[in-house]
Structure 1
Amino acid sequence: MAEPVRVRRLTDHEGQKLEQIVRRGSTSSVRYRRAMMLLASAGGNRVPVIAKVVRADEDTVRDTIHRFDEIGLACLDPRWAGGRPRLLSPDDEDFVVQTATTRPTKLGQPFTRWSIRKLAA
């Protein structure tokens, strides 16, 4: 049987920082939940118990513990993906905003209001 996953021994600074995050609760929900997972693991709780307490998947708890062991408190910050690349350059965006805020009749168009289709054309 595999060894249970447990967080490494916390330094004083790490323990204080985690407790501060959990006590205040004013941080993001992701940081709060991850801090709860790490403190619970440091307190001797096993992964299934921690997963039930923080209402997370057991794999998420294990991943958080492993990342903490690798990089420390930096694991508390979420790593959001960048998403789809922008289709408009900043110059194109400025042009669209400038056009949309100008009356169509001033630009020689035969209508009085912009629509999305008219702007796209």
Structure 2
Amino acid sequence: MSTRNGPHARANATEDSRTGRTAGTVGPASTGSKTMRYSRAEYAKVLALQDEVARADADYQRFRNAYMEIVQADPTHEVALAMIGADMDRAHARLQALIGLPRLPFTHEPSAVMRRELQRLADEKH
């Protein structure tokens, strides 16, 4: 939406809009810097997405820590490991989807990778 004409045109006027050039073009009155600007709606979406990514990362870390705690405390509790592992895999997939990473067909689930790594560490201790 253009703010060039209308009741707030004077308040939102910039050097580029006064001279008739489009924003970001290099000219004698322009400094040449192309700064990215967000509208209010876009900025609100960016902030909401950042909060959602932070929440998804916190969920993944919480499930990961719970999984590690159960593996260290009672590695034979397969039901708890399977349930928390599934939650951890879902949280990891959600985090990847929010970030924009595609699901690759031949990747291992994070819980399976962590289970193998923790088993290897436990075997090295004994």
> Taking structure 2 as the reference length, what is the TM-score of the superposition?
0.25
What is the TM-score normalised by the length of structure 1?
0.26
Greater RCO between the two (CA within 8 Å, min separation 6)?
A: 1
